[in-house]
């Protein structure tokens, strides 16, 4: 089994406010399906980029995103599946439910669980 990150960036989900409850329920349904299938490791969304705190190597913390950043993860799912095709299957389900494209990336071998 391999771990895959399925994610989308802030601003990619262009959904009318009135449609958000339906989108949220569809996304939660996919998460429940992945949990029932035994492949879900984690799923969640993150707050807007302005809610970011950057911690430097020296431990200094600065509120706000790093200067020059153009893209920020908005939502992510981690699945533990037997193949890239299986990860792409879940990526497609998430893309349909969230109404936006998803990036599917395998974690490096040896990644901790």
In the predicted model, what is the mean pLDDT of residues 28-40?
Answer: 98
Q: What is the four-CA torsion angle of 21, 80, 70, 92, rounded to 10 degrees?
A: -50
Give the β-pairing of 2-9 and 103-106. antiparallel
Closest Cα to residue 31, out of 18, 21, 41?
41
pTM: 0.90
Residues 6 or more apart in contact with residue 46 via CB below 8 angstroms: 73, 74, 75, 76
pLDDT digits (tens, 9 = 90+) for 47-61: 988 889 999 999 999
Give the β-pairing of 103-106 and 61-63. unpaired
Q: Which of 11-25, 29-43, 58-72 has the highest mean pLDDT?
A: 29-43
Determine contact, residues 10/71, Cβ cutoff 8 Å: yes
In the predicted model, what is the mean pLDDT of residues 63-85?
Answer: 92
* Domains observed in the chain: 2-49+71-106 (3.30.70.1060)
């Amino acid at each position: 089994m391999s771990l895959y990150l399925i994610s989308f960036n802030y601003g990619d989900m262009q959904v009318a406010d009135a449609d958000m409850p339906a989108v949220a329920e569809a996304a939660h349904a996919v998460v429940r399906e992945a949990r029932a299938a035994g492949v879900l490791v984690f799923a969640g969304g993150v707050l807007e980029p302005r809610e970011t705190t950057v911690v430097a190597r020296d431990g200094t913390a600065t509120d706000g995103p790093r200067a020059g950043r153009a893209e920020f993860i908005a939502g992510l799912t981690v699945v533990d599946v037997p193949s890239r095709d299986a990860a792409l299957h879940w990526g497609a389900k998430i893309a349909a439910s969230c109404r936006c494209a998803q990036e599917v990336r395998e974690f490096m071998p040896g990644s901790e669980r």
